[in-house]
Amino acid sequence: MIDEFNKLLYSNKIITQSIAPSWVNQGINTHILRLDLIHPVISGNKFFKLKYYLDEAEKRDKRTIITFGGAYSNHLLATACACNLMGFKCVGIVRGEKPAIFSSTIKAALEYGMELYFLNRSAYKEKKIPFLIQDHHYIIPEGGYGIPGARGASEILDCVTGIKEYTHIICASGTGTMTAGLTNAINSHQQVISVSVLKENYSLQTEIKSLLTEKGMKNDLKIIHDYHFGGYAKYNPELLDSMKELWTELNLPTDFVYTAKAMYGIKQLIQNDYFKVGDNLLFIHSGGLQGNHSLPVNTLPF
Ligand SMILES: *Cc1c(COP(=O)(O)O)cnc(C)c1O
């Protein structure tokens, strides 16, 4: 199962690109790991976060996967697609009443055969499993948060040649699962910088900590809370302008929920002289571009 999944994952070569945006100071090297190019739907970190959950489900002989997410959730759609590829039945529990018109994410999840249940916000909060679901099921927590998710995410850095050369690994965080995986995987001379996209989500540190291995506990992790732009999936013209700039300068597409905010954060750190000459930064492009469909048409040039 893991082998089969890895074959899907690594069949598209994962590339690391050198980038030199105009705002990077001289003497600082920046690379980007293009996980957004892995697969058109299960892009980015989701592939990595899902694999050990699916493996565990298979080992326990559970052929139905249940998971949770909002109407634009990258996790929900990635799970639908991964289950479709790996032959699992899949149920999605969606936050909020059933809308008159489905989001593009929900439509795509349906196309992958995901069975959907819409729960109002209070029922969703309790993560109630509708009684209609009788099958022996396996639950993947919302956002893939958990030890199997972090274990998969720790394999992200295996895709980078010369990983030891980097001084800083930079990513966006929602649940913090990817951040935990990366922190477990780095070496003692490296630092993970994680830009939280949720507003004032100060419990993130504890949530990440509970996914760290003994080695990970000793590693250097910096969490930044300053670039959420008002909260999850919130944005303003400044964020959109920074995305357009990355596109025109570098031909680099970002998503407004995660990667654009992390990039913006790095730009600020660079401008505040956080890094020193000779530092070697690796930015994880964790995908999520499908989420841009929730923006009004023509907001972005890509
Ligand atoms: C889900 C997601 C994240 C956040 O990952 P966590 O492990 O929940 O912190 C970051 N970037 C993108 C593009 C995502 O889709």
pLDDT of residue 239: 98
* 3-class DSSP state of 31: strand
Amino acid symbol at 49: K
10-residue mean pLDDT profile of the chain (302 residues): values are 83 87 93 91 88 96 95 95 94 96 95 95 85 80 97 95 97 98 98 98 98 98 98 97 97 98 97 96 96 94 94
* CB-side neighbour CA atoms (13 Å) of 155: 20
User: What is the pLDDT at residue 12?
Assistant: 67
The answer to whether the CB of 45 is under 6 A from ligand 1 is yes
**Amino acid 11: pLDDT:** 67
Tokens of 11: 């069949």
Q: Which of 32, 140, 142, 173 to mutate to test the pocket of ligand 1 (most atoms within 8 A of CB)?
A: 173
Whether 50 is in the pocket of ligand 1, judged by its Cβ within 6 Å, is no
The structure tokens 């739907």 sit at 41
From the CB of 44, is ligand 1 less than 6 Å away? yes
H and E: helices and strands count for the chain: 11, 10
Q: Atom of ligand 1 at shortest distance to CA of 44? A: 13
pTM over 0.85: yes
Question: How far is the centre of ligand 1, averaged over its atoms, from the C-alpha of 49 (Å)?
Answer: 9
Instruction: Give the closest residue to 72 by CA, choosing from 143, 130, 8, 141.
Output: 143
